[in-house]
Chains A and B, each alone.
Chain A
């Protein structure tokens, strides 16, 4: 059975790109353009992994949604990849070592995300969490 991945992203072009890459790799994909819809999807569907944009309608939406997932017993096992468009030059680069304590996600990836790197990362996280990719 293939894993179902939730992509939360307010840029429809990025959403489409992620969907194509994931489906090409035989993952099922569900998408949400805001965190309200994402929360509804989590309640209804069995999600294996979340790819989450940091800044959506509000700058902190991605952080809030990550906190929501990780503080909920039902969902906290789901690995999250946090996609950020901010980088070192702006002093907002995130790092699991330094920022993981306040932002409980499994992986930060800086946009633009290389599609092949994304798949390798997803396989790694799913293997750790579920034993299959």
Chain B
């Protein structure tokens, strides 16, 4: 399929993903407006549901805006930063959400160390937030999230792994997780307003940092997301 066809397909999926919750909101409000519901408490509940649906739409639009921002490289200035700091900040941010879902997040003991890269803190925080959020959402009840880090053989790259004990990604979906708007069958079971931009966004950010991202998964066992980033080289300069 050529790029134009791919773009049109992506737009069609995007249109559907936005139209479905919008239709749902109109359905909820229509039945109040047309007098199908007369009890004030029931009307209140339906309005509350409509507001919640509208909030998920806002999240979708935010994702789209974030994705479009990536096209403008001037917004992503990179500077020397300790990547473990960024990871640790993300863990702290995500921990309350994980606890609310009874998911145990590893303490990340190696995060007290320092490993410097040339990176953009805001965008990389977004990367870790997204990966950890997925590890929470698609985890099993009382599941775990474990972090691991090491360097490659010539110490030029840092590898960070985020491992979950979740439902796993089917092999046929593993090839597609980074494609725009793609969600696997298992992911569709967790409808939360996500439109499948998350991991394509993550991949783009990592590639803009000259890094790579890999995912391996076993159904019923869990998923490991591996991020490989070049370490800061002496003499490298911050981007102005």
Contact = CB atoms under 8 A, between A and B. Distances in A.
Interface of A: 10-11, 13-14, 16-18, 20-21, 24, 55, 57-58, 85-87, 89-92, 111-116
B12 A58 contact: no
Most B CB within 10 A of own CB, among A17, A87, A112: A17
Interface of B: 8, 11-12, 15-16, 19-28, 30-31, 34, 36-37, 46, 49-50, 53, 185, 188-189, 191
A116 B33 CA distance: 12
A52 B95 CA distance: 40
B36 A111 contact: no
A115 B33 CA distance: 11
Contacts of A17: 24, 27-28, 30-31, 46
Contacts of B11: 90
Most A CB within 10 A of own CB, among B12, B21, B23: B23
Contacts of B31: 17, 20-21, 115
A92 B191 CA distance: 23
A82 B37 CA distance: 25
Contact of B24 (A11, A87, A92, A114): A11
A10 B20 CA distance: 11
B189 to A, nearest CB: 6
B27 A14 contact: yes
B163 to A, nearest CB: 26
B22 A112 contact: yes
25 contacts: A10-B191, A11-B21, A13-B28, A13-B49, A14-B23, A14-B24, A16-B49, A17-B24, A17-B31, A57-B185, A57-B188, A57-B189, A86-B15, A87-B19, A89-B15, A90-B11, A92-B12, A111-B19, A111-B27, A112-B22, A112-B23, A114-B30, A115-B27, A115-B30, A115-B31
